[in-house]
Structure 1
Amino acid sequence: MPQLPEQTAAERVRSVLAQAVSLSLTTDGQDYDLIGMHSVGRKGQITLHPQADSPLTAQIEAAERGSVAALLEFTDIAPTPLRDRVRTRVTISGWLAPAEQGASGTLRLDLARVTLRTATGAQEEVGLDEFALAVPDPLAVEEAAMLTHLADAHEDMVADLIVLSGSRLPHGVLRALPLAVDRHAITLRCEYREGHCDLRLLFPTTARDAVEAGEQVRRLLTMPRCAHHDQHSPADH
């Protein structure tokens, strides 16, 4: 069976970082929850922007070697009200140091390791070169708005998309909601009394932005049943 197109692990990590507004940071003996205090550069460089008088800034300034070992965790949560909303977790380790020698405030992270863990428990380490060269999916930043709009305003469209699976899904679906969308496909979560199945519907052509993704969804609904590809994951079912 040919491999269906999907994001690489490095692209998924970069997409999670592009969407994230918060992160959890662990340093030597300290834990921090940072909201709206980080930025990600074009090649994935992570910069933290704590307040000048924050405990984190004080910890870095007091470090004997001018840097501290750090572990950053990003949790990718589905924007729709699913039972299990965690889609992936990204863990990045390295060393935090002032972004400019002798300066306080802005901190840079010198990367050591990047790991992606999926909702199924699968874990993959991403090479640092792959991470730097990868780019976020073009729909990453707008994904949450797209999925919530589809769930809130187009329940009929979601139901019609489920019909495209034919007899491939187990019977007894209690609820179906959008789970994810990227340039290649839209994924729906079908919930049962116990467990769920994820249905991934491949777009006829790759979407370059949110407008094209909407067009691809509509094309899926008008194509002959045999003209589309789908794959489903019977997670916990």
Structure 2
Amino acid sequence: MGDSQGWTAAPSAAERARSALAAAWSCAVTADGGREEFVGAHSVTEDGRVLLEAPEDSRLLAAAICAPRGETSAVLEFADAAPVPVRSRIRARLWMAGWFVPEDGRLAFRTTRVVLRGASGAVVVDPDEFAAAAPDPLATAEARLLTHLADCHADAVERLTRLVDPDSLHGAVRVQPLAVDRHGLTLRIERVRSHGDVRLAFHAPADDVTRLTERMHVLLTQAAASCPRALQRQRTDGDG
């Protein structure tokens, strides 16, 4: 279930795909009729090419060596999981179709098709746009930033709910930070049997952690000037 919240600034599908790839630590590879999981074995070049260090006993490596033209068709899958424990933790999945070729002792993946599936459905990303896009500047720091926000500043997260439409907070039992990028912060609103996401846009892009801190302070200042929303009223009534 998704909740509506007015905002316009957001990364493109190509940027979201590159961010998911940049932050991913593991990937699943389906090739030659089998599926293998690789953890900490891949790297990504500036143009989005995946380089895989497959172990010697890997089925994928054997298939690449034995391939007639030295090319092994494959599908790579990367899961974009929220760093903070929430319901439905997988935020998106990225699939890349193409083939592997041996290159300098590694397997280099040549992409022919990119598909990103998120909460709003699947989007086919043009391979050239994917190669030209840059990951969000906060992508590799996002996990640390969100876990710190959730673990050490739960009061600030609750304060930010003052910026959320009251209808989106109806029946809310918990709010957690779900995602952050240079354009805004997304909150996951959990209810007893459902959940929804709302996005709080920054007034200007946050291209590094220092700017992100300033953007968060602006949101919190705006929240302080707003009337308490349903979540705060529920907590207050419960304390009484």
TM-score by length of 2: 0.87
**Which structure carries more helix by proportion?**
2
Once the two structures are superposed, what CA deviation does each residue of 1:81-129 show, in whole Å capped at 9, x if it has no partner?
A: 10110101000000111015xxxx3011111100111134x11111111
Equivalent residues in 2 for 1:76-225 (5 A)?
76-100=80-104, 105-120=105-120, 122-223=121-222
Distance between the aligned counterparts of 2:196 and 2:119, measured in 1? 12
Distance between the aligned counterparts of 2:169 and 2:148, measured in 1? 27
- Note the residue ranges of structure 1 that are not aligned, 5 or more in a row: 228-237
Aligned length, in residue pairs = 221
1:66 aligns to 2:70 (yes or no):
yes
The equivalent residue for 1:231 is none
Distance between the aligned counterparts of 2:139 and 2:84, measured in 1? 15
Distance between the aligned counterparts of 2:131 and 2:12, measured in 1? 13
Whose relative contact order is higher, 1 or 2, with alpha carbons under 8 Å and at least 6 apart?
Answer: 2
Q: Following superposition, which runs of at least 4 residues in structure 1 exceed 4 angstroms of deviation?
A: 224-227
State the one-letter code of the partner of 1:17.
L
Change (3 A) 1:189 1:203: same
- Note the residue ranges of structure 2 that are not aligned, 5 or more in a row: 1-5, 227-240
Change (3 A) 1:224 1:52: closer
Once the two structures are superposed, what CA deviation does each residue of 1:124-183 show, in whole Å capped at 9, x if it has no partner?
A: 111111011100001100000000000000000000001122524242210000000000
Which of 49, 52, 60 lines up with 1:48 in the alignment?
A: 52
Alpha carbons 2:22, 2:135 under 8 Å: kept: yes
TM-score by length of 1: 0.88
Helix, strand or coil at the partner of 1:158: helix
Q: What is the CA RMSD across the aligned residues, in angstroms?
A: 1.8
Q: CA deviation at 1:53?
A: 4.3
Q: CA deviation at 1:207?
A: 0.4
State the one-letter code of the partner of 1:34.
F
State the one-letter code of the partner of 2:139.
A
Alpha carbons 1:92, 1:115 under 8 Å: kept: yes
Helix, strand or coil at the partner of 1:216: helix
